[in-house]
Amino acid sequence: CTAKGGCGSATELSDTNPEGYFWRRRGGGSEVVTSTPHVASVNLSAGPTWVWPNYEDEQVRHSPLIDDQKSIYIATAVKIRKFDFEGNMRWTWETGPKDGKMTTSPALYKGMIFAMAQYPPAELYLYCINMTTGRELWRTHHA
């Protein structure tokens, strides 16, 4: 998608996943169902590989996202954080102070993260963030 509103063809936005992302949006696929073809470890006795300590005690209300490098993106009400597969935080991105809170789960698409925040009663902010750097590529406001 571009800042001018073009989002490609319907085929491009279908349920295909040419990027190879493991979990690219809430529910994983276009039907927003909670299933995946990937199998989790059955031996949980060793405990987690790593844990995010969440020192700011933020509420996580959105589905985590997983890219093709097994990096994990965790979204709270106002922040998105990227962790590599070993649990090292790579970057943090934050909405603006007057942008409201993220009301939907972000989505990964072609090296970008798309996120939305809402400031009551009806102001929306859409963001496009570079997955590698965490740099905001653009934002747009809709009232």
Digit-coded pLDDT (tens) for 105-130: 899 999 999 999 988 888 899 999 99
The pLDDT confidence band at residue 98, using thresholds 50, 70 and 90, is confident
Compute the average pLDDT of residues 4-8.
Answer: 45
Asked whether 59 and 78 are in contact (CB, 8 A), the reply is: no
Digit-coded pLDDT (tens) for 21-56: 766 665 545 445 555 666 777 778 888 888 999 999
More confident call, 58 vs 13: 58
The candidate with the shortest Cα–Cα distance to 76, out of 89, 90, 64, is 64
> Phi/psi zone of residue 15: left (φ > 0), alpha (ψ -120 to 50 degrees), beta?
alpha
pLDDT at 103 (0 to 100) = 84
Structural domains in the chain plus CATH codes = 65-142 (2.40.10.480)
More confident call, 132 vs 45: 132
pLDDT at 142 (0 to 100) = 86
Separation CA 71–CA 2 (nearest Å): 24
Q: Is the pLDDT of residue 81 over 90?
A: yes
